[in-house]
A = this chain, B = another copy of it.
Amino acid sequence: MDVLTITDVSPRDGLQSQRTMVATADKLRLIQGLSAAGVMSIEATSFVSPKSVPQMADADVLLPQIVRRDRDNISVLVPNLRGLDRAIAAGANSIAVVLSASDTMNRKNIGMDLDMATQICVTTLKRATDLGLATRAYVAVAFECPFEGIIPPSCVRDLALRVADAGARETVIADTIGAAAPVQIQDVLQLLLVHFSPMQLGLHLHDTRGMALANAWAAIQLGIRRFDASVGGLGGCPFAPGAAGNLATEDLVLMASQCGLHTGIDLVALMSVVAMVQELVGPPIGGRSARWLRTIVEQDSHKEEEK
């Protein structure tokens, strides 16, 4: 059976950019809902500075409350050694680090240049690996940076090799602002596949230009089977005007299921999580397939009632 693994990043990347503050208890409901829908990998929170990302200020109290059954599927973002320490204290056993591929993005985002940011990522990955944690490393703005424009694929390859050498079990290439088209996805992945097996790589897509699913398909064709996605397409990017949310989990699950790829995720249960998140954050959310999926879910429930 051909399996496609989805990491739902809505509790972290999805909520992070929302203005409405979401209570810890509601974040727990979201995570439990995703888990109940069959999502096997969830990025739960981020151990960044509460000052810079207030929405993630409850990381230290959120993680310990995630029931044991779910924790094996849970990863958290850590920006540095201090974040790693906090994550471990809260019970994390799987962490992710992020490295932006451009100098300016690193300066704007974390106030340091690319070299320094790389060093911090490498140090954090090494420590986490030494401690036996599962690790994932993101190369962010890997296609286009809102400040520097097109990122040379060779730069992405070099950074991916650096974080892999430092112990990242999985290297995720992130189109943080949703700027790539299928040809750009192919160009970068083909270069990476000289050095990596497809199973060592993942793809993180945003749907700004409506091409997230087409990009996912281009990557699937190259053997990639790990994707980030966000229920309801929740998300955004503070640095990129007009940037839309992440690739919606429901869109990817639907395409995968029609293409013979097993995700283990139940679409009806997932759509109830979309409804829950919509209540939490206010404005309507939902992936490209949400309108149709809602119609189908409604029809099914009418049929159930008639029985």
List chain A positions with a Cβ less than 8 A from chain B: 178, 180-184, 207-211, 213-214, 216-218, 221, 241-244, 248, 251, 254-255, 258-260, 287-289, 291-292, 294-296, 299
* Chain B residues closer than 8 Å to A216, beta-carbon distance: 214
Q: In the complex, which residue of chain B has the Cβ closest to the Cβ of A289? A: B210
Task: Report the Cα distance A73→B220, complex, angstroms.
Answer: 37
Contact A259 B181 (CB under 8 A): yes
| Given contact pairs A184-B258, A210-B251, A211-B289, a sample of 8 additional A-B residue pairs in the complex whose CB atoms are under 8 Å apart | A181-B259, A208-B292, A209-B292, A210-B254, A210-B292, A211-B251, A214-B216, A244-B292
Identify which of B209, B218, B258, B288 contacts A217 (C-beta below 8 A): B218
Contact B288 A207 (CB under 8 A): yes
Contact B208 A258 (CB under 8 A): no
Contact B299 A241 (CB under 8 A): yes
* Chain B residues closer than 8 Å to A258, beta-carbon distance: 180-181, 183-184, 211
Task: Report the Cα distance A294→B221, complex, angstroms.
Answer: 31
Contact B259 A182 (CB under 8 A): yes
Contact A295 B241 (CB under 8 A): yes
Task: Report the Cα distance A250→B295, complex, angstroms.
Answer: 26
Contact A291 B242 (CB under 8 A): yes
Task: Report the Cα distance A305→B292, complex, angstroms.
Answer: 41
What distance in Å separates the Cβ of A285 from its nearest Cβ neighbour in chain B?
14
Contact A255 B211 (CB under 8 A): yes
What distance in Å separates the Cβ of A303 from its nearest Cβ neighbour in chain B?
13
What distance in Å separates the Cβ of A186 from its nearest Cβ neighbour in chain B?
9
Q: List 29 A-B contacts (CB under 8 A).
A: A180-B258, A181-B254, A181-B255, A181-B258, A181-B259, A182-B255, A183-B258, A183-B259, A184-B258, A207-B288, A208-B289, A209-B254, A209-B255, A209-B288, A210-B254, A211-B213, A211-B251, A211-B289, A214-B217, A217-B217, A217-B218, A241-B295, A241-B299, A242-B291, A242-B292, A242-B294, A242-B296, A243-B292, A244-B291
